[in-house]
Amino acid sequence: MKEVASWERKFQVWQYSVSHSTLLLRSVHPQLYETRIDILFPAVSFMQLRPSYDTLTISEADESETEELLPSGVNASEPGNLYVINHGQGYVMAPKCSWFEDQGDHRAPSKFGPLRGTK
C-alpha cells in the first residue's frame, strides 16, 4: 500500500453530496490549528467511514489489496482507486483524492468550490 498523505490532527466527515457522490473531510479547529484542511473525494462509488478521526493517514491500495480489503459483495472493479483510511479504519473508492490547506474557518468557502452547506 502506498501512503498518499498523513496528518496529526482531527478530521471529520464534513459533507457528502448524494447527487454528485462527492465526499468532503475537514480538519478545522481554530483553538488548536492555525489552518483548515479540506480533503475531497469526487465520484465516490463506495465508502465506509467513521464520523471522525483523531489523526488521518490516507493510503492507496493496489489491485490485489483492493480485492482483499473490500467487504464481500462490493464490486472491486468499480472505477477509481481504493483509498484506505488509517490502515483499515475506513475506505473510500474514488477516482482521486485532493486536499487543500488554507487559513479558512468552518464558515469560509472551500477551495473545491461551492459545496452545498459549506458556503
Write the pLDDT tens digit of every residue in 66-99: 888 887 777 767 778 999 999 999 999 999 999 9
pTM: 0.88
Split at pLDDT 50, 70, 90, the class of 109 is: confident
pLDDT of residue 84: 96
Contacts 24+ apart (CB under 8 A), 108-117: 108/36, 110/24, 110/38, 110/40, 111/38, 112/24, 112/38, 112/40, 115/15, 115/17, 115/22, 115/24, 116/15, 116/17, 117/15
Split at pLDDT 50, 70, 90, the class of 114 is: low
Distance from C-alpha of 109 to C-alpha of 119, rounded to nearest angstrom: 5
Between 119 and 13, residue with greater pLDDT: 13
pLDDT of residue 118: 52
Residue 48 in this model has a pLDDT that exceeds 90? yes
